Amino acid sequence: MSARVPRIAAGTYTAAPLRKPLGDWQAAVVRMSNLDPVTTEIIRMRCAVYHDCKT
Amino acid sequence: MGTDATLAMHLAGAPDVLEQLNLARDAAWQTVDSRLLGLCEQRIREILGVTQESQLANWYADASLSVAEKACLAFTEEYMIDVANLTDQTAAAVRDALGDQATVDFVSALLVVEQRQRIALTWDTVFGAPQ
């Protein structure tokens, strides 16, 4: 895999008025428990691959 | 009925999730220029087939659009179709037009707008749109 070159200056984050509700929304989704853990993890991993997510 | 109605109907049993989703929506539109984000949302709806309109199918030839708007529309198209392979040039064009901070804010807002459209489209397709 080729090395990544930062596209944005280090230390630049989404503005707080948007970052907080975005984080709160994602946290609210994670707290949902309707889907079983195995299916949830399979979907999470698939999304991470699709998005080339490194976290 | 539209996106908001679909989301409200299916998230009626999870009011905290709906509330946070809507707060994120509100914040996205307050943070990013509404004309710019509106253009990108329109293009998202066109790509997903949510709308039959194709106002922006030839956006690259539209002289009424600014350099920043065109850069963001190009970004939106790559983001929608294959986000993991979005090119450095496409990202750089947005950064050059908006600057670092506004680029990060734009991408975050685009995520919010895109998620709403995709989630609603999925639910409408699987369960049928609210009447």
| Best of A4, A14, A35 to mutate (most B CBs within 10 Å, chain B) | A14
- HSE value, Cβ hemisphere, 13 Å, CA-based, for B62: 17
Determine the pLDDT at residue A54. 66
Chain-centre distance for alpha carbon B122:
15
Determine the pLDDT at residue A2. 59
- Residues 6 or more apart whose Cβ sits within 8 Å of residue B70: B59, B60
Q: Do B30 and A52 touch (CB under 8 A)?
A: no
- HSE value, Cβ hemisphere, 13 Å, CA-based, for B56: 21
SS3 A35: coil
User: What does DSSP assign to residue A3?
Assistant: P
Q: Is the pTM of this model over 0.90?
A: yes
CATH code where residue B33 lies: 1.20.1290.10
For residue B40, what are the domain limits? Answer: 3-127
- Residues 6 or more apart whose Cβ sits within 8 Å of residue B46: B53, B54, B55, B56, B57
Determine the pLDDT at residue B131. 78
Determine the pLDDT at residue A23. 94
Sign of the alpha-carbon torsion through B44, B45, B46, B47: positive
The span from the CA of B123 to the CA of B19, in Å, is 18
Conformational region of residue A6, where left means phi above 0, alpha means psi within -120 to 50, and beta covers everything else: beta
Model ipTM value: 0.87
User: What does DSSP assign to residue B60?
Assistant: G
| Best of B11, B22, B23 to mutate (most A CBs within 10 Å, chain A) | B23
| Cβ atoms within 10 Å of B63's Cβ, excluding its own | 4
Determine the pLDDT at residue B7. 96
Q: Do A9 and B100 touch (CB under 8 A)?
A: yes
If you average pLDDT over every residue of chain A, what do you get? 88
Number of domains in chain B: 1
For residues A51 and B26, which has the higher predicted lDDT (pLDDT)? B26
| Best of B7, B10, B11, B16 to mutate (most A CBs within 10 Å, chain A) | B16
> Any chain A CB within 8 A of the CB of B8?
no
Q: Do A17 and B30 touch (CB under 8 A)?
A: yes
Q: Do A15 and B28 touch (CB under 8 A)?
A: no
| Interface residue ranges in chain A relative to chain B, Cβ cutoff 8 Å | 5, 7-9, 12-15, 17-22, 24-25, 27-29, 31-32, 50-52
Low-confidence stretches of chain B (pLDDT beneath 70): 1
